Amino acid sequence: MIKLHDVSRIFSVGGQEVRAMDHVSLDVGRGEYLSIMGPSGSGKSTLLNIIGLLDTPNSGTYLLEGRDVTSLSDLQLADVRSRKIGFIFQFFHLIPRLTALQNIELPLLLAGVAKKERTSRSSRLIEEFGLSGRQHHRPDELSGGQRQRVAIARAVINQPAVLLADEPTGNLDRTSGAEIIDLLEQLNTGGQTLVVVTHDPEIGERAGRCIRVVDGRIAGDTRKD
Ligand SMILES: Nc1ncnc2c1ncn2[C@@H]1O[C@H](COP(=O)(O)OP(=O)(O)O)[C@@H](O)[C@H]1O
Ligand SMILES: [Mg+2]
């Protein structure tokens, strides 16, 4: 599903080079549930952004479902991303002026799906994700946990093969955080490949496979039996 080979990402900041990813190779199979842990600044978000096609490596290769995506144009990347990848962020990244329903159906609008179909698919997710009665609320009228559920619904409405979450519980209290992880795990049980970056060891250890990142390298890769 995801095959990174010898991938590096170097940022230049004020003439200084930062090796955010240093010769990383990683294979993730279809349907896997993977967590990424490591100290702050170790390169977890960089790794996730590269997997999610939000960033491109300076060197190395990346095969997504067997297709080399390292040399695609920005337009091609955006197209693959919109069909294959669902991204969830710590700070939700919802559009403030749109309602929950409008946020959720946005990817369908961009994909040119007709209104009737958009509404029926987003309404189904509203119900499934426990957001009934909140569909016409704007993000600032929702709790953190509800906002994240809207963000997850938006991420999965195109039924992407891969679901990537960067500290999805980092801005939530324990109870809402646990609900969000439960929801992501349900989606993984339904077949979606799930990669979660987290600071919280309790969350990290729930995954079937834990990757530890230190200084832009993979320092550990353990699987549960
Ligand atoms: N856009 C960027 N420009 C410059 N440096 C960056 C950028 N993104 C990340 N970095 C640097 O790369 C390293 C890894 O960052 P990041 O992947 O965000 O770490 P983490 O998510 O593990 O906290 C850090 O040293 C960070 O400062
Ligand atoms: Mg990060």
Q: Is the CB of 134 under 6 A from ligand 1?
A: no
Residue type at 137 in one-letter notation: H
What is the model's pLDDT at position 125?
A: 97
Q: What is the pLDDT of residues 143-191, one digit of tens each?
A: 999 999 999 999 999 999 999 999 999 999 999 999 999 999 999 999 9
pLDDT greater than 90 at residue 210: yes
How many C-alpha atoms does 219 have within 13 Å on its Cβ side? 11
> Using CA positions, which residue lies closest to atom 11 of ligand 1?
20
Q: What are the extents of the domains in the chain? A: 30-56+74-223
Cα(179)–Cα(163) distance, rounded to whole angstroms? 17
Nearest protein CA to atom 13 of ligand 1, as residue: 20
Mean pLDDT over 112-136 rounds to: 96
Q: Find the mean pLDDT for residues 112-122.
A: 95
What pLDDT shows up at residue 225? 74
**Of 3.40.50.11740, 3.40.190.10, 3.10.620.30, 3.40.50.300, which CATH number belongs to 30-56+74-223?**
3.40.50.300
Which residues are CB-neighbours of 118 under 8 A, at least 6 positions away?
A: 105, 108, 109
Which ligand 1 atom is the nearest neighbour of the CA of 49?
A: 17
In percent, the amount of the chain with pLDDT more than 70 equals 100
In angstroms, how far apart are the furthest CA atoms of the chain?
A: 53
Ligand 1 atom 20: residue of nearest CA: 41
pLDDT at position 103: 97
Q: Where are the alpha helices (DSSP H) in the chain?
A: 44-51, 74-84, 100-110, 115-128, 144-156, 174-189, 201-204
31-53 pLDDT per residue, tens? 999 999 999 999 999 999 999 99
Is 13 near ligand 1, meaning CB less than 6 Å away? yes
Question: What spacing in Å lies between the alpha carbon of 45 and ligand 2's midpoint?
Answer: 4
Report the nearest-CA residue for atom 3 of ligand 1.
11
pLDDT of residue 116: 96
DSSP state of 55: S
- The residue written with tokens 């324990």 in the block is 174
